A and B are shown apart, each in its own frame.
Chain A
Amino acid sequence: MTSFDSEKIAEIHRQLHSRLPSDPALRVKAIEGLLIEKGMIEARTIDAWIELYTEEIGPKRGAHVVAKSWLDGAYRERLMADAPSALDELGYLGHATGHLKAVENTPDIHNLVVCTLCSCYPFGILGMAPNWYKTAAYRSRAVRDPRGVLAEFGVRLGEHVEVRVWDSTAELRYLVVPERPLGTDSWDEAALTALVTRNSMIGADRDLSPGAG
């Protein structure tokens, strides 16, 4: 039975701190071996999860959603109104997307997504989060100094642009829909998908013009 007792967990953490090896690789090896020996996990399942999130589930899904929303006004309306249904149309519904909201960049608005309290992220359409997203530096600064953070990513905003920072404090998740760059009128869905960066869908990239990167 789970205790839901904070003090009990804090004491377990203190014991683990002093009794487990410091090297995380050794910790993982030991716990994996133990859980397999106890019949609680299968090594093949561990391999399968890693393969799925390395090979298949990643930001190409989100990029496809964004590109489709640029080409198809009706899809864009559905995405903005009910993002989980719009993902489901493409077979992309998955982990941490059940309460997804799409937020649009415009010439006057730039959106930036963070989770200051942990590391919430729409894994099902963006895959594993980039390392910087999980750092104390990003989590602490994105809400307080978003323009400084964006400048470090090479995004410089005029004074007229409003920055909207979305702190993922509950089970809603946010997908930034960047602006379609000029000069791509004749581009097809595949070419547009290739333009959409992971960072642009978090808000850490803005100008997707070919060659702008």
Chain B
Amino acid sequence: MDGAHDLGGKQGFGPIEVAAEFIPFHEAWEGRGWAITRATFRADWTIDWWRHVRELIDPIDYLSRPYFDSWIQLLTAALIDSGALTMEEAVSGKAASAAADSEPMPPEAIMEIAATAARFDRPIDTEPAFKPGDAVRTRSLGAAGHCRLPAYAQGRQGLIHAYHGAHVFADDSAKGDKHPDHIYSVVFEAGALWPEAEGRRDRVFLDLWEPYLERA
């Protein structure tokens, strides 16, 4: 979606607070908010639905509220949507009924969960359309739903840098459909992306699914 989350290349945000001391969670609520999300992922959600629910937060809130607050808001919204909570429960903080369909994650389970690296590669019965070195152009339009082709790289010409097989396609996975498509690292000269970067020796690499690409 063409939302406020799509920040690559947007101007006006100013310097980066590089000197801030690293603390995993600056305030206690941040750690608890993050950990609650780790403990409540539901079987019918996908990582892309999760990301999409976050990017659907009101753009003013998305850009101005604290980072982990957006996680708590997206979790609450997704639980309400899935029927695990009601809006009244979320607003009152009081349970109207017990959970119908989920067992809580026990603390003993987290080591194994934390040591599991989810994989998104899947078998596919089509051949990839491109190979490394091929010139490609990205789709010039955005998408109404979840999409992982950022606005700054739409309608731009680049080269296939690497082919990675087929991964679950994010746009459809955000709708619950976990079918795969071919995925590539595509490299763009900075000068193909930004008017002020003409001739600069820099390149930007994005991981893009085949439906985002056409032959250039």
Contacts and interface: CB of A to CB of B under 8 A. Distances in A.
B214 to A, nearest CB: 17
Contacts of A165: 202-205
Contacts of B144: 6
Interface residues of B, number: 118
B87 to A, nearest CB: 6
Nearest to A199: B18
A140 B53 CA distance: 21
Nearest to A119: B67
Given A2-B44, A3-B81, A144 B194 contact: yes
B68 A24 contact: yes
A5 B52 CA distance: 10
Contacts of A6: 1, 52, 56, 144-145
Contact of A116 (B8, B20, B78, B117): B8
Contacts of B131: none
A81 interface: no
A56 to B, nearest CB: 9
A13 B36 CA distance: 19
Contact of A32 (B9, B36, B102): B36
A194 interface: no
B29 A152 contact: no
A191 interface: no
Contacts of A170: 120, 148, 167, 170, 183, 207-209
The interface centre, meaning the residue of A31, A33, A53, A138 with most chain B CB atoms within 10 A of its CB, is A31
Interface centre among A116, A137, A204 (most CB of B within 10 A): A116
A27 interface: yes
A77 interface: no
Nearest to B33: A28
A40 B79 CA distance: 11
Contacts of B106: 42, 44-45
B77 A13 contact: yes
A160 B200 CA distance: 10
A211 B47 CA distance: 41
Nearest to A93: B117
Contacts of A95: 114, 116-118
A141 B117 contact: no
A160 B202 CA distance: 10
Nearest to B185: A172
Contacts of A53: 24, 34
A131 B20 contact: yes
Contacts of A57: 114
B56 A139 contact: no
Interface string A15-28: 11101100011011
Given A99-B120, A140-B10, A117 B18 contact: no
B107 to A, nearest CB: 4
Contact of A130 (B22, B39, B107, B193): B22
A131 B93 contact: no
B81 A8 contact: yes
A84 B68 CA distance: 28
Contacts of B40: 35, 40-41
Given A14-B58, A48-B107, A95-B114, A24 B80 contact: no
Nearest to A114: B8
Contact of B55 (A118, A154, A167, A198): A118
Given A24-B66, A50-B31, A99-B121, A169 B9 contact: no
A132 B81 CA distance: 31
Nearest to A120: B51
B87 A15 contact: yes
A119 B74 CA distance: 14
Q: Which 5 A-B pairs have the closest CB atoms?
A: A116-B8, A98-B117, A170-B207, A30-B93, A49-B35
25 contacts: A4-B176, A12-B81, A13-B73, A16-B73, A17-B58, A27-B33, A30-B93, A32-B32, A40-B102, A41-B104, A42-B105, A117-B7, A131-B67, A132-B18, A134-B67, A136-B7, A136-B63, A141-B16, A143-B8, A146-B202, A160-B201, A162-B202, A170-B170, A171-B118, A198-B22
